[in-house]
Amino acid sequence: MLLLRRGRLLKVSLLIIILILTVAFFMPKPKSQEVEQQEKLIKKDTHLSLKQRPIYKEGILGNFEPVPSNTVREGPGEGGKPYAGRGEDQNEVASVMMEYGMNMVVSNQVTLDRSIPDIRHEECRYWHYPENLPSTSVVIVFHNEGWSTLLRTIHSVLNRSPPQFLKEVVLVDDDSDKEHLKGQLEDYIRQFKGKVRLLHNKQREGLIRSRTFGAQESKGDVVLFLDAHCEVNTNWLPPLLAPIYMNNTVMTVPVIDGIDKDTFEYRPVYRGNTHFRGIFEWGMLYKETEIPEEEMKERKYFSEPYKSPTHAGGLFAINRKYFLKIGAYDPGLLVWGGENFELSFKIWQCGGSIVWVPCSRVGHVYRGFMPYTFGKLAQKRKGPLVTLNYKRVVEVWMDEYKEYFYTREPMARQYDAGDLSEQFDLREKLQCKDFKWYMDNVAYDVLYKFPLLPKNLYWGEVRSMLTSHCLDTMGSQPPSSVGLSHCHGSGGNQVFRLNEEGQLGVGERCIEGDMHHIKLVFCRLGTVDGPWQYDANTKMLHHRHHQKCLQLTPQSSQLHLQECKEEEGGQKWIFRELKVV
């Protein structure tokens, strides 16, 4: 029985094979590789749900996690520990600090491949990411950067990125004049066999335009911008790429750690178990705030990415084609400043999103000051360069909310933002939503700390009728005393604003007073009111809580609150709006 069955089975099988061969013969020729490739791509786009999401597996080491090693490296700066430098080099330190804004003597003694502490949240080790993440060009713009900080940035990227996702590191030299950034750098990167490319601007372009240039020249699916003095941390890349892989209109931002400019110690900027996200205040200064309850609730794991209204500007990843499609950076922005808001508003309002990624951490050296000038890039238009940039961004993206910017920066109303028509065309073409939508749906927590500003009743210099000197914060940081100086009529530390609710402000700070001092203080977050009242008839500035008036004692040039007396010349003040010349 069994034998017989086997025989029949064989016959049937043979028949089937013949049938298949016959059919195959009459089948159309196989599609060209190109067509297949295209079909695959279309499938990929229409079946986004089929894309594998990152998966959390408690206790199972993630697929791109490095194997934990027990060897402890010894040497200056290893493990991210602070390094004081050798005693005999101390004489050099002052001059390199002037030249670079960071201690290059110490940096030069720390190896380019040094170890840094893995200070990620414990959960980060157990995320499993898709295996076919997009390829990445890491773009680093520099101008007169120190050798070892630039090279340590590159080494850390090469050491800590899965090679299959790292297409290249693209260096954009923004017209540096230091010797070591010419032939020596060219020679050094030859060892990386094309994986590190060096591009030169023909003339100084500034950070913003250099970034756009770097993105245009890149070959990866994703461009990832880094500053030239960073060290990327353990398994930093896949968590940044996964959200972009899922949806290529997402910008991803790593969490930034601090590298000390004096000792090169690596340490977290954010402590405790809180997530922060990027916002802004109405003078367009970048701020951060704890992520609101609403966002926490949307997530299952503490270590998951979360939405952020803005980003700090230096470090982020974005699909390259998407970045270019949304116009990259506004080419009218000069050098540095405001470009982070331009990109943030544009992405959100035009259908994309920004997430911060807690499992991706990158160390960054915070300099004390900018060690170089803008050279020929200095403005041709009137107004301070950064505020000019803000004005472009505010005018193009913020609709009626731009009034709060002009309340906070009244001088900016007179600045010339240049031609904005291309930016408005772009906003039209991309069918972007209005700023109110952004405020209501994305950046609602801005108002928790920085409520909409009441109108200014008075603004400008505040001049004493007794001595003709002006109130002046002298550029000092709060808490400090307000002083008096020659009225220079050009704004800055002499631009005061008194709003409808009695708040007297200078820039983002507030003026408070008592019997002894008139003080520059931090404004109370979430409030816009204050104790001040100005009487334009008597010219007196009244402090309602203390029931006193602002008085100048000319002998000592000191400011106090005193009993209000109309006949007292030291209590007469004149607000005068300033004109940009």
Contact call for residue 227 and Mn ion (CB under 5 A): yes
Q: Which does 330 bind (CB under 5 to 8 A by kind): Mn ion, ligand NAG, none?
A: none
- How many chain residues are in contact with Mn ion, going by CB under 5 A? 1
144/353 with CB nearer ligand NAG: 353
Minimum CB separation of residue 311 from ligand NAG in Å reads 15
In angstroms, give the least distance from the CB of 294 to ligand NAG.
Answer: 15
Binding site partner of 227, from Mn ion, ligand NAG, none, Cβ cut-off 5-8 A by kind: Mn ion
Query: Cα dist. 455→397, 499, 502, 507 in Å?
Result: 21, 6, 10, 15
Q: Are 365 and 314 in contact (CB under 8 A)?
A: no
Using the minimum distance from each CB to ligand NAG, give the nearer residue, 45 or 567.
Answer: 45
Nearest approach, Cβ of residue 45 and ligand NAG (Å): 9
Pick between residue 214 and residue 243 the one whose CB is nearest to ligand NAG. 243
Nearer to ligand NAG, 266 or 356 (CB): 356
> Residue 262 contacts by C-beta under 8 Å, 6 or more apart in sequence?
102, 103, 106
Binding partner at 247 among Mn ion, ligand NAG, none, C-beta below 5 to 8 Å by kind: ligand NAG
Q: How many CB atoms lie within 10 A of CB 254?
A: 28
Query: Which residue, 80 or 314, is less far from Mn ion as judged by CB?
Result: 314
> Which of Mn ion, ligand NAG, none has residue 538 at its interface (CB below 5 to 8 Å by kind)?
none
* Residue 558: alpha-carbon gap to chain centroid: 41
* 263, interface contact from ligand NAG, Mn ion, none, CB < 5-8 Å by kind: none
CA 79 and chain centroid, separation: 26
Q: Which residue is nearest to ligand NAG (CB)?
A: 247
Q: How far is the CB of 338 from ligand NAG (least distance, A)?
A: 23
SS3 per-residue string spanning 11-71: HHHHHHHHHHHHHHHHCCCCCCHHHHHHHHHHHHHHCHHHCCCCEECCCCCCCCCCCCCCC
Q: Pick between residue 353 and residue 481 the one whose CB is nearest to ligand NAG.
A: 353
Least distance in Å: CB of 283 to ligand NAG? 28
- Rounded Cα gap, residues 80 and 321, in angstroms: 36
Smallest separation, CB 353 to ligand NAG (Å): 4
Task: Give yes or no for residue 231 binding Mn ion (CB under 5 A).
Answer: no
Running DSSP on this structure, what letter comes out for residue 280? E
Using CB under 5 A as the binding rule, whether residue 257 contacts Mn ion is answered as: no
48: partner contacted, choices Mn ion, ligand NAG, none (Cβ within 5-8 A by kind): ligand NAG
Residues 6+ apart with CB under 8 A from 388: 334, 379, 381, 415, 416, 417, 418
Query: Closer CB to ligand NAG, residue 14 or residue 48?
Result: 48
- Binding at 249: pick from Mn ion, ligand NAG, none (beta carbon under 5-8 Å per type): ligand NAG
Min separation Cβ 249 and ligand NAG, Å? 5
Residues comprising the chain, all counted: 581
**Residue 109 touches which of ligand NAG, Mn ion, none (CB < 5 to 8 A by kind)?**
none
Residue placing its CB nearer to ligand NAG in the complex, 239 or 460: 239
Identity of the residue, 227 or 445, whose beta carbon is nearer to Mn ion in the bound complex? 227
The enclosing H or E element of 106 equals helix 104-109
Instruction: Give me the least distance between CB of 227 and ligand NAG, in Å please.
Output: 27
Closest C-alpha to 232, from 81, 335, 115: 115
Structure tokens that stand for 434 in this block: 């209005």
Give whole-number Cα distances, 500 to 407, 454, 487, 497, 538, in Å.
11, 6, 25, 10, 18
Q: Are strands 306-307 and 496-499 parallel, antiparallel or unpaired?
A: unpaired
The neighbour count for residue 198, using CB atoms within 10 Å, is: 16
Q: Is 175 left (phi over 0), alpha (psi -120 to 50) or beta?
A: left
- In the complex, least distance from residue 138 CB atom to Mn ion, rounded to whole angstroms: 15
Q: Distance between CA atoms of 286 and 389, rounded to whole angstroms?
A: 14
Residues that bind ligand NAG (CB under 6 A): 48, 247, 249, 351-353
Under 8 Å between Cβ of 242 and 133: yes
Please name which of 224, 212, 401 lies closest in space to residue 311, comparing C-alpha atoms. 224
Cβ 560 to Mn ion, closest distance in Å? Answer: 43
Q: Which does 370 bind (CB under 5 to 8 A by kind): ligand NAG, Mn ion, none?
A: none
List residues near Mn ion by CB under 5 A. 227
